Amino acid sequence: MPNVSFPEGFLWGSATSAYQIEGAAREDGRGESIWDRFSATPGKVQDGSSGEIACDHYHRFAEDVRMMKGLGLSAYRFSIAWPRILPGGRGAVNARGLDFYSRLVDALLEAGIQPFATLFHWDLPQALQDEGGWPSRATAEAFVDYADVVTRALGDRVKDWITHNEPWCTSMLSHQVGLHAPGLKDWGLALAASHHVLLSHGLAVPVIRGNSAGARVGITLNLSPVVPASPSPADHEACRNFDGYFNRWFLDPVHGRGYPADMIADHIADGHLPPEGLTVVKAGDLAAIAAPCDFLGVNYYNRVVSRSDKVLDAQNQPRTVELAPKEEWTEMGWEEYPEGLNQVLNRVHLVYGPRRIYVTENGASYGTAPDADGRIPDERRLRFLREHFLAARRAIDAGVPLHGFFVWSLLDNFEWDRGYGQRFGIVWVDYETQVRIPKDSALWYSRVIATNSVDTV
């Protein structure tokens, strides 16, 4: 079978986030984050673990960068821990925190790896949470100051900036579903949080540009195609609502369309918002959120099949969407659906038209462990990645301006509320010894990178 090649200059990267890999939670002046507090609260993380040590990347970053170089990665997406930089959330700057990222960036550049820095990947300083967290407008203002400090220090060398990772998770998953820190279940707070996250993004964009000459700035959204489980009108209605809640609530304002009117109406009708609507939006906010960006980051893992419980319960209608057989779902319990990536990329391109798109995360959790020879034959991850790379290639063929792909994740790591039970890495981490072993998927990926092409067998 011939190889399917990618456009010249396509970036092949991997992604991580600070709290999931760094460890050194109490070192060099780092302040407490909401994830330290949340994971120390019994019952919040499935295996009772935390990111206190994680992959010890804080001490092993040089080794990790050497490994990335060995694999041939052309780009690396990491996040900066706000509580390392501003331990109290605002005010006094911790120079040792900045210094760590400065050394990491230097090592990456030295290795010929393009750094993509994410400013917020969920580890909010606890001090800001104590003052109200994202539901409070003051947190958006504090974020802009934090972005200013970081980009002043690193903006000469980092030219690709992502303000936020997955605002849906920061707001809804953390304040309404309650699975992530701070673990609240309150619609009003979640919706206020979503607005302040987006506002902080928009306000930070010009600040970042001002500090980092020639910078390219974007935001990363987690997106899923949403399909109705059956042709029934009720399932279509459930689909519209979920798509609005998950995708459009974030895509629309970032691209200058404001919040979707149907969702505001739904939230008022459901009692999530008062009759006046989203009252935290002040004059000028929507224009700020719509600050033109250089790219959109898309994180894609799976699709959502929406059904109306009413129809299912009352009439027991047959569901017509065929899901992949359960044996083919990843260990997160997520269906493998590579074509969904092509669908999401096309939708974003056709409806919203961002200048550039990167897949800033895609990957799979499979626990495949080292065999007797110390090799890690993670064929299912390899197949997962191949299918998603090919889906990305189909999107490029259709005209989507996709410029790079970051595999989640470089290393096995602390998977939030799931703890260390889920392994997303293309590199195995032995948490006892901190030994890293590239899995078969990593070795295969390095051939993809070297040839800028994917084998189709």
Give catalytic residue positions. Answer: 166, 361
For Cα atoms 109, 112, 114, give the angle at the middle one, nearest 5 degrees. Answer: 65
Q: Which of 416, 420, 444, 445 binds ligand FCB (CB under 6 A)?
A: 416
Nearest approach in angstroms of CB 40 to ligand FCB is 19
Nearest approach in angstroms of CB 171 to ligand FCB is 13
User: Closer CB to ligand FCB, residue 50 or residue 222?
Assistant: 222
Nearest approach in angstroms of CB 417 to ligand FCB is 10
Beta-strand relationship, 160-165 and 304-306: unpaired
User: Closer CB to ligand FCB, residue 89 or residue 363?
Assistant: 363
Residue 17 makes contact with ligand FCB by CB under 6 A: yes
Nearest approach in angstroms of CB 87 to ligand FCB is 22
Binding mask 357-376 for ligand FCB (x = CB under 6 A): ----x---------------
Asked if 56 contacts 23 with a C-beta cutoff of 8 angstroms, the reply is yes
User: Closer CB to ligand FCB, residue 98 or residue 162?
Assistant: 162
Asked if 62 contacts 105 with a C-beta cutoff of 8 angstroms, the reply is no
The Cα 446–Cα 311 span in angstroms is: 48
For Cα atoms 419, 422, 423, give the angle at the middle one, nearest 5 degrees. Answer: 120
Nearest approach in angstroms of CB 169 to ligand FCB is 6
User: Closer CB to ligand FCB, residue 20 or residue 176?
Assistant: 20
Task: Produce one character per residue of 17-48: b if its CB has 16 or more CB atoms within 10 Å, e if not.
Answer: bbbbbbbbbeeeebbbbbbbbbbeeeebbeee
Binding mask 421-440 for ligand FCB (x = CB under 6 A): ---x----------------
Asked if 61 contacts 26 with a C-beta cutoff of 8 angstroms, the reply is no
User: Closer CB to ligand FCB, residue 332 or residue 437?
Assistant: 332
Burial of 350 (C-beta count, 10 Å sphere; 0-12/13-18/19+): exposed
The Cα 421–Cα 436 span in angstroms is: 17
User: Closer CB to ligand FCB, residue 101 or residue 424?
Assistant: 424
Nearest approach in angstroms of CB 14 to ligand FCB is 12
Q: Which of 165, 194, 232, 362 binds ligand FCB (CB under 6 A)?
A: 165
Beta strands in 362-452 (DSSP E): 402-408, 427-429, 436-438
Contacts of 192 (CB under 8 A, 6+ apart): 134, 135, 136, 278, 280
Residues 86-125 that bind ligand FCB (CB under 6 A): none
Only one of the segments 22-30, 85-93, 95-103, 163-171 lies at the binding site for ligand FCB (rule: CB under 6 A); that segment is 163-171
The Cα 285–Cα 140 span in angstroms is: 11
User: Closer CB to ligand FCB, residue 120 or residue 416?
Assistant: 416
For Cα atoms 105, 112, 14, give the angle at the middle one, nearest 5 degrees. Answer: 70
Only one of the segments 165-173, 200-208, 239-247, 268-276 lies at the binding site for ligand FCB (rule: CB under 6 A); that segment is 165-173
User: Closer CB to ligand FCB, residue 17 or residue 39?
Assistant: 17
Nearest partner of 318 among 228, 226, 227, 229, judged by Cα:
229
Q: Where are the alpha helices (DSSP H) in 332-378?
A: 339-347
Nearest approach in angstroms of CB 424 to ligand FCB is 5
Only one of the segments 161-169, 274-282, 382-390, 427-435 lies at the binding site for ligand FCB (rule: CB under 6 A); that segment is 161-169
Nearest approach in angstroms of CB 301 to ligand FCB is 6
Residue type, 210: G
User: Closer CB to ligand FCB, residue 50 or residue 165?
Assistant: 165
Only one of the segments 67-75, 162-170, 277-285, 436-444 lies at the binding site for ligand FCB (rule: CB under 6 A); that segment is 162-170
Residue 408 makes contact with ligand FCB by CB under 6 A: yes
Residues 381-400 that bind ligand FCB (CB under 6 A): none
Asked if 12 contacts 404 with a C-beta cutoff of 8 angstroms, the reply is yes
Nearest approach in angstroms of CB 46 to ligand FCB is 13
Residues 223-262 that bind ligand FCB (CB under 6 A): none
Residues 277-336 that bind ligand FCB (CB under 6 A): 299
Residue 129 makes contact with ligand FCB by CB under 6 A: no
Q: Where are the alpha helices (DSSP H) in 170-275?
A: 187-211, 233-243, 249-254, 261-269
Residue type, 177: V
> Count of residues binding ligand FCB (CB under 6 A)?
12
Residue type, 321: V
The Cα 264–Cα 250 span in angstroms is: 13
Residues at the interface with ligand FCB (CB under 6 A): 17, 20, 165-166, 169, 222, 299, 361, 408, 415-416, 424
